[in-house]
């Protein structure tokens, strides 16, 4: 009788345990819910120039600031141990979203009385060094999120993040009109990079000189980390030759160092609608 009861019990309990373990695993690796940030982007960001740039309705964002605050409150509750259980794409999407939401939140502290995010820092300060974002157990600055958690960690090693994090400026790659997600991250990063490089106002070939955004000068080392077998800036740009409008021969010349790389000007004016 005891053996029989044990067997029947196992038939019932073991599937329950297995289901619980499966659900726990799924929960640990599921995307953080970025829906509230996604809805704000859908509502207040307009893609322009065929998706190569965007403008932000900061007045609308300010009217919906309670929703932005709620989103950042939710992200602040994620513990380091919970974050560590996510896969790399989910972590990176989370950090990019928090960075972008934090940037908008910072702009709103002074909007509409600023022409550039750099005005927030004043003469001797920097908006990117202000610690105001509670994240993973600490109050962090935008610089810390980008340069310590994303770039400095060496965990993600993806130069395309430079076309995803947004500095609220016209010269910056577009703030996308939807939130990044772990599942869709690779495609989202690829599209953001391709669209930015296709913008001839910031990246263009003239004669034997390829003029590109100063982002490629400021973070040149990030494009030489052997990401997908690209060991230098020329190799990275060569991957996006079609976006840059380069022919096969021009792409070959670029990779062989026969095309000079120069840098365009950066427009720090606010990316406002």
pLDDT value of position 185: 98
3-state SS of 113-152 is: CCCECHHHHCCCCCHHHCCCEEECCEEECHHHHHHHHHCC
What are the residue boundaries of the structural domains of the chain, listed by start?
1-30, 31-263
Integer angstrom CA distances of residue 145 from 9, 112, 142, 151, 206? 50, 26, 5, 8, 36
Cβ pair 96, 38 in contact under 8 A: no
In whole angstroms, give the CA distance from residue 262 to residue 258: 13
Helix (H, G, I), strand (E, B) or coil at 263: strand
Helix (H) or strand (E) holding 46: strand 45-48
Predicted TM-score of the model (pTM): 0.89
Radius of gyration of the chain (CA): 22
| Locus of tokens 């790659």 | 173
In 3D space, the residue among 11, 129, 112 whose CA is nearest the CA of residue 61 turns out to be: 112
pLDDT in tens, the chain (273 residues): 444 443 444 444 444 444 444 433 344 445 689 999 999 999 999 999 999 999 999 999 999 999 999 999 999 999 999 999 999 999 999 999 999 999 999 999 999 999 999 999 866 689 999 999 999 999 999 999 999 999 999 999 999 999 999 999 999 999 999 999 999 999 999 999 999 999 999 999 999 999 999 999 999 999 999 999 999 999 999 999 999 999 999 999 999 999 999 999 999 999 999
Cβ pair 150, 160 in contact under 8 A: no
- How many Cα atoms sit within 13 Å of 54 on the Cβ side? 25
């Amino acid at each position: 009788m005891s053996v029989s009861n044990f067997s029947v019990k196992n038939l019932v309990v073991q599937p329950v345990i297995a289901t619980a373990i499966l659900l726990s695993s799924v929960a640990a690796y599921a995307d953080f819910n970025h829906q509230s940030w996604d809805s704000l982007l859908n509502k207040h960001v307009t893609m322009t120039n065929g998706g190569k740039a965007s403008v932000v309705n900061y007045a609308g964002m300010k009217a919906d600031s309670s929703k932005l605050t709620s989103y950042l409150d939710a992200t602040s509750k994620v513990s380091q141990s919970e974050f560590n259980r996510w896969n790399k794409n989910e972590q990176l999407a989370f950090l990019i979203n928090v960075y972008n939401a934090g940037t908008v939140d910072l702009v709103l502290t002074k909007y509409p009385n600023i022409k550039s995010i750099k005005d927030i820092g004043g003469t001797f300060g920097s908006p990117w060094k202000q610690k105001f974002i509670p994240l993973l157990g600490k109050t962090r600055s935008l610089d810390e999120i980008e340069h310590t958690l994303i770039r400095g960690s060496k965990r993600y090693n993806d130069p395309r993040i430079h076309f995803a994090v947004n500095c609220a400026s016209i010269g910056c790659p577009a703030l996308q009109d939807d939130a990044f997600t772990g599942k869709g991250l690779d495609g989202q990063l690829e599209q953001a990079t391709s669209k930015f490089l296709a913008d001839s106002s910031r990246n263009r070939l003239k004669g034997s000189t390829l003029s590109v955004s100063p982002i490629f000068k400021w973070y040149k080392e990030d494009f030489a980390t052997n990401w997908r077998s690209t060991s230098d800036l020329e190799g990275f740009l060569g991957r996006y030759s079609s976006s840059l409008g380069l022919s096969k021969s021009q792409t070959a010349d670029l990779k062989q160092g026969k095309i000079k790389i120069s840098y365009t000007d950066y427009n720090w004016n606010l990316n406002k609608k």
